[in-house]
Amino acid sequence: MNLNTNLPKIGSLSQSLQAALVDKINHKTKPLGALGQLEAVALQLGLIQQTLTPQLSNPTLMVFAGDHGVVNSGVSPYPQAVTAQMVLNFLQGGAAINVFARQHNMRLRVIDAGVNHDFDVHTDLIHAKVAAGTANFLQEAAMTSAQCQQALATGASLARQEVASGCNVFGFGEMGIGNTSSASCLMSVLCGIPIEECVGRGTGLDDAGLAQKLSILKQAIDFHDMGGDNALDVLATFGGYEIAMMAGAMLGAAEQQAVLLIDGFIATAALLVAAQLQPNILQYCVFTHCSGEAGHRRLLAHLGATPLLDIGLRLGEGTGAALAYPLVQAAVNFMNEMASFESAGVSTAEDAA
């Protein structure tokens, strides 16, 4: 596949402020390293924003929805219609992500990337449908090259629009019955990890259902018989429109020096694609949690990621990103508001020496 869209180019973060940021963190009124991962997040945000006083503005959760043709082969206990039903639940404010977004004052953007349903116009729904669900990748590629590139480019454009309206921190989530199957295949092929180590129970498969899901996905990977050296081809073959559009949005957000809050297994699979296209994107990512989905911990390890939370979440929707956002806020707040030893008149270990 030739990448002929205007996808973002992401440069490596300047390290020019690293020493000053570390010095500021180390001279807060606490023992060295006492705030653990919050210190790493504070340093990362300072480098992303190239400032000693990072700020978070207009936090936005982008939840992409799409349907998957492979559901027709029996990989999920839920019917495909649940995707559209859950999108309507988002729009009515009744889903978990609505609750957590309200709690933390985060804007929620729901995007129809490829749901097999025609939604009415709604002020809280972005209509960006590429097609009414992907093809069944057990029999053919999930999408064409043109559809894949359209989804990526649309996602990047949507992220740029949010940045233009004042957002500098994004959470990413998804809804799509069957999308753990898509994510498992993306992970297996792109990482070179056996599919058995990538497949989980998704929305609640029993042992028999899990065995059937694994069998179907093994057949699909064998059928396409492709390597992992071309992320765009792999995405078009096994991806979903919501995954492709999310990957594009991640690229667009990082291009604009925004902070990326990465949710669970599906969102991390989208990032995996984005990182193969633009490896520097990982410098902009805060990994919010490790989910209960079987492949997620292995995928985080592959990316060298240390998640903020590990509380057994496996819902998707961006819920992990929303729940971890206060920790990211705390990293910014201690950086900007916590006294230094000097300003507070507190003695240091160096003074004692």
What's the CA gap between 236 and 221, in Å, rounded? 13
Type of residue numbered 296: H
Catalytic hit among 162, 174, 255, 317: 317
Which tokens is 182 given?
């898509």
- Cβ(70)–Cβ(176) below 8 Å: no
What's the CA gap between 327 and 37, in Å, rounded? 9
Taking only Cα atoms into account, the Rg of the chain, rounded to an integer number of angstroms, comes to 21
Which tokens is 232 given?
């765009």
User: Which residues lie closer than 8 Å to 57 by C-beta, 6 or more apart?
Assistant: 166, 167, 168, 169
What's the CA gap between 349 and 281, in Å, rounded? 38
What's the CA gap between 98 and 159, in Å, rounded? 20
- Cβ(55)–Cβ(332) below 8 Å: yes
Would residue 317 show up in a list of annotated catalytic residues for this protein?
yes
What's the CA gap between 200 and 203, in Å, rounded? 9
**Beta-strand relationship, 169-175 and 60-66:** parallel
Residue with tokens 């990977």: 221
Q: Where are the alpha helices (DSSP H) in the chain?
A: 18-26, 37-49, 81-92, 96-103, 145-164, 179-191, 207-224, 231-238, 241-255, 265-277, 296-303, 319-337, 341-344, 349-352
What's the CA gap between 45 and 331, in Å, rounded? 9
Name the residue among 161, 347, 128, 340 with its Cα closest to residue 252.
161
What's the CA gap between 147 and 230, in Å, rounded? 16
What's the CA gap between 132 and 151, in Å, rounded? 13
Helix, strand, coil percentages for the chain (3-state, nearest 5): 50, 10, 40
Catalytic sites, residue numbers: 317
